[in-house]
Amino acid sequence: MNLIEYTFSGRKVRYFLDTSFSRLKDVVSTQNMVIITDENVHRFHPELADFQLIVIPAGEQYKTQATVDTIIAQLIALEAVRKTVLVGIGGGVITDITGFTASIYMRGLSFGFVPTTILSQVDASIGGKNGIDRGLYKNMVGVIRQPDFILFDPSLLQSLPHDQWVNGFAEIIKHACIKDIGLFELLEQHRLEDFMHDSSLLTDMIKRNVVIKSNVVAADEFESGDRKLLNFGHTIGHAIENLYQLPHGHAVSIGMAWACSLSEKLNGFDTQGHERVKRLLQQYLLPTTFLLDTEKVFEVLKMDKKRVGASINFVLLNNIGEAVVKPILLSQLDTLIAET
Ligand code: NAD
């Protein structure tokens, strides 16, 4: 297995890259393991039947405390104890909810992830943010706690519907915009289909993104500095995701296009760069515009976790590959949303 290790706040996380799901049994003993997955992943992967399993309904609308409660009831029924290891096998909803449940059940179990969407392989499984939504407010309740391991099996992506491939590339483009102009240029040279059909191109892409996110988190696990940059596109993105029931990647894509306009207005980001980002998002079939209700969006934004007093911290671009955090007054934001 291709093993790399990252240390976050003194805690080691093992990444098994470009490996096979069948190796999970070598990482955790089957006896101690309880797998949490969703109905879609369960349907596509009958091999999961060999394990102690908790299956929850699929979708963001189930990333809630009510679902956590049903998982806890099933853990008790399975007689899960402190040495039980929870393994979340699925997309970002499953990894977020598994990490959260593992962090609170019996004051904390060990856990690991087998991410099965592009988005969860390049982003959601990495970095230790685990949580649930509360009504319209995304990830309102949660913890930062690292998994013991993440096992990456690119072949699990074969059953992924096309729209979920599109969804995942929003976070890849985000990484390129904030940290890696070379990655941006590579993406410009390709189409989504290239990555769907060329496994070595895909494996390299996943690894490159895993490294980008892990390096940012390793340098600033508790988001006092550079980790904030990973929120590029997410402030507006999160506000509209649950409000309009948009796929996460679509919401983030619209948020990034919006943040580019704002970067042009407030941060001297050049028009050409703005156009390039929009073109790349569209090249990967992502939306860049959305007709939104300014007042409703503003109401959700006011409760954003990045709010500090009368301002919200926004991630803006200086250049492609170089981002910066700027506080924007709520009073100013109201007008800016209406204008953009
Ligand atoms: P998701 O977990 O809802 O998965 C998307 C869909 O794909 C679901 O219907 C799922 O059942 C299905 N699916 C998953 N794997 C499959 C497979 N291999 N084959 C077929 N179908 C499959 O969503 P997502 O896009 O993976 O993740 C979005 C979530 O991730 C959001 O809740 C977001 O807040 C969270 N997130 C968290 C972080 C973090 O740092 N913790 C970062 C980014 C996103």
Query: Tokens at residue 313, please?
Result: 């911290």
Task: Check residue 214 and give its pLDDT.
Answer: 96
Nearest alpha carbon, ligand 1 atom 39: 124
Q: Is the pLDDT of residue 113 over 80?
A: yes
**β strands within the chain, DSSP E:** 2-8, 11-17, 33-38, 52-56, 85-90, 110-115, 129-134, 137-144, 149-151, 307-308, 311-319, 322-329
Mean pLDDT of the residues in the chain? 94
Return the ligand 1 atom nearest residue 58 CA: 11
Residue 35 CA, distance from chain mean position? 20
Question: What is the Å distance from ligand 1's center to 127 Cα?
Answer: 15
pLDDT tier, 308 (very low <50, low <70, confident <90, very high otherwise): confident
Return the ligand 1 atom nearest residue 130 CA: 41
**Distance between CA atoms of 282 and 191, rounded to whole angstroms?**
11
Return the SS3 of 110. Answer: strand
Question: What is the Å distance from ligand 1's center to 38 Cα?
Answer: 10
Q: Is the pLDDT of residue 237 over 80?
A: yes
Q: Which residue has the tokens 């007042």?
A: 295
Q: Is the pLDDT of residue 242 over 90?
A: no
Task: Check residue 339 and give its pLDDT.
Answer: 74
Task: Check residue 304 and give its pLDDT.
Answer: 76
Q: Which residue has the tokens 């590339």?
A: 169
Residue 160 CA, distance from chain mean position? 16
Residue 48 CB-density burial (10 A; 0-12 exposed, 13-18 middle, 19+ buried)? middle
User: Which amino acid belongs to residue 81?
Assistant: V
Per the DSSP assignment, residues forming a β-bridge with 144 are 129
Return the ligand 1 atom nearest residue 129 CA: 41
**Distance between CA atoms of 321 and 187, rounded to whole angstroms?**
13
Return the ligand 1 atom nearest residue 94 CA: 2
Sheet holding 52-56, edge to edge: 2-8, 11-17, 149-151, 110-115, 85-90, 33-38, 52-56
Question: What is the Å distance from ligand 1's center to 119 Cα?
Answer: 6
Nearest alpha carbon, ligand 1 atom 30: 92
Nearest alpha carbon, ligand 1 atom 28: 92
Nearest alpha carbon, ligand 1 atom 3: 59
**Distance between CA atoms of 44 and 158, rounded to whole angstroms?**
10
pLDDT tier, 24 (very low <50, low <70, confident <90, very high otherwise): very high
Task: Check residue 261 and give its pLDDT.
Answer: 94
By the 8 A CB rule, do 297 and 304 touch? no
What DSSP letter does each residue of 188-234 carry, written as one string?
HT--HHHHHH-HHHHHHHHHHHHHHHHHHHHH-TTSSSGGGGGGTTH
pLDDT tier, 330 (very low <50, low <70, confident <90, very high otherwise): confident
Q: Using one digit for the tens of pLDDT, what is the confidence trace for 254-307? A: 999 999 999 999 999 999 999 999 999 999 999 999 888 888 888 888 877 777
Question: What is the Å distance from ligand 1's center to 91 Cα?
Answer: 3
Question: What is the Å distance from ligand 1's center to 120 Cα?
Answer: 6
213 lines ligand 1 (CB under 6 A): no
Question: What is the Å distance from ligand 1's center to 247 Cα?
Answer: 9
CA angle 293, 297, 302 (to 5 degrees): 150
Output DSSP code: residue 180. Answer: -
Task: Check residue 206 and give its pLDDT.
Answer: 97
Question: What is the Å distance from ligand 1's center to 171 Cα?
Answer: 12
What DSSP letter does each residue of 182-194 carry, written as one string?
HHHHHHHT--HHH
Q: What is the largest CA-CA distance in the chain?
A: 59
94 lines ligand 1 (CB under 6 A): yes
Return the ligand 1 atom nearest residue 167 CA: 25
User: Which amino acid belongs to residue 148?
Assistant: D
Return the ligand 1 atom nearest residue 40 CA: 11
Q: Using one digit for the tens of pLDDT, what is the confidence trace for 151-166? A: 999 999 999 999 999 9
Per the DSSP assignment, residues forming a β-bridge with 308 are 311
What percentage of the chain has pLDDT greater than the value 70? Answer: 99
Task: Check residue 129 and give its pLDDT.
Answer: 96
Return the ligand 1 atom nearest residue 247 CA: 25
Question: What is the Å distance from ligand 1's center to 326 Cα?
Answer: 29
Query: Tokens at residue 21, please?
Result: 């799901």
Q: Using one digit for the tens of pLDDT, what is the confidence trace for 173-203? A: 999 999 999 999 999 999 999 999 999 999 9
96 lines ligand 1 (CB under 6 A): yes
Return the ligand 1 atom nearest residue 168 CA: 25
Tally of helices (H runs) and strands (E runs) in the chain: 14, 12
146 lines ligand 1 (CB under 6 A): no
